[in-house]
Structure 1
């Protein structure tokens, strides 16, 4: 993998999400070079979310308005409270559109459970092998009903475009200038 390349990979077997894969309705994972190997994972996630493109916030606003019509949660924006430092978060706190489900030295777990589906994310540091240290951002979704299936029929393909674009944002900004 090139130093700045983002690659689609299987959800790592070591991930705390791996046991839920057998019953998942959707799962994907993207690996990228770790832009800040010494940074705590929650702080890195907060940076990633804060750097999401403006058009993503517009998509979230459209999503929030549309899903109100069918009784789903208004999730707000991807970015968390900019004034709250990473060390102030505790398991159970909202971090942007997600709830902090787990915070481990090697893996951050975020999720949201609504009446239509349960979404879980993992930001995991991969064990060092050849080349630079890498991160894996995994998404695992369990649909609760037909509304979840319909939602993922629309969001799934978009998700597979948006996640690599988000990761490129942080990758570009962290790359040393030549």
Structure 2
């Protein structure tokens, strides 16, 4: 299992117009029947304890600023994946995320055929609105990279029983 950082390959204007930040990670899986929703569920439905601790710390620190701690208030007709409302989906692509007053973000999960299975790619896009958004993005960036890779690695695990 090798997770590779790649150049983001999404149309930023159609996913999050004006996004100033984008990164992407890819892994190849052998599950030829995996679709974007199933991949996103494997990625976001389970959170390692060290990530939960970081999220709890983040939520405590941002509470005085009125920042959202999940997208539950923005849940759409497509439902939720982990903490994120699903904004759109096809079998090949799922887009989730929400808007806040300091920044808007999207996470895109793409599934595409590869030589030995399928490539699963997660792309994160961020549009900051003010100094708080820029400061927040700068502060979380080292953690974002570790978390993004760890969560993407979960796509190789079998789905959790329902």
TM-score, scaled relative to structure 2: 0.82
The within-5 A match list for 1:26-37 is 26-37=21-32
1:149-178 CA-partner distances (Å, limit 9, x unpaired): 00001112211121112222333x35xxxx
Q: 1:11-90 maps to which residues of 2 (within 5 A)?
A: 11-12=8-9, 15=10, 17=12, 19=14, 23-75=18-70, 90=77
Report deviation, 1:20: 5.4
- For 1:86, the equivalent position in structure 2 comes to none
Indicate the residue corresponding to 1:109 in structure 2.
95
1:135 aligns with 2:120: yes
Count of aligned positions = 155
Shift of 1:21: 7.3
In 1: Cα distance, 2:100 partner to 2:16 partner: 19
Contact 2:42 2:154 in 1 (8 A): no
Is the contact between residue 30 and residue 136 of structure 1 (CA under 8 Å) also seen in structure 2?
yes
* Change in 2 beyond 3 A, CA 1:60/1:132: same
**1:103-137 CA distances to partner (integer Å, 9 max, x unpaired)?**
112100001110000010110013x3544321110
CA separation of 1:67 and 1:158: change in aligned 2, threshold 3 A:
same
Partner of 2:111: 125
Given that residues 60 and 76 in structure 1 are in contact (C-alpha distance below 8 angstroms), is that contact kept between their aligned partners in structure 2?
no
Q: 1:95 to 1:132 in 2, by over 3 A?
A: closer
Aligned-pair Cα RMSD in Å? 2.4
Q: Is the 8 A contact 1:32 1:167 kept in 2?
A: yes
Query: Matches of 1:130 and 1:38 in 2, distance apart?
Result: 14
Displacement of 1:90 after TM fit?
3.2
Q: Which shows bigger deviation, 158-167 or 68-77? A: 68-77
Consecutive unaligned residues in structure 2, runs of 5 or more: none
Please tell me whether the aligned partners of residues 6 and 26 of structure 2 are also in contact (alpha carbons under 8 angstroms): yes
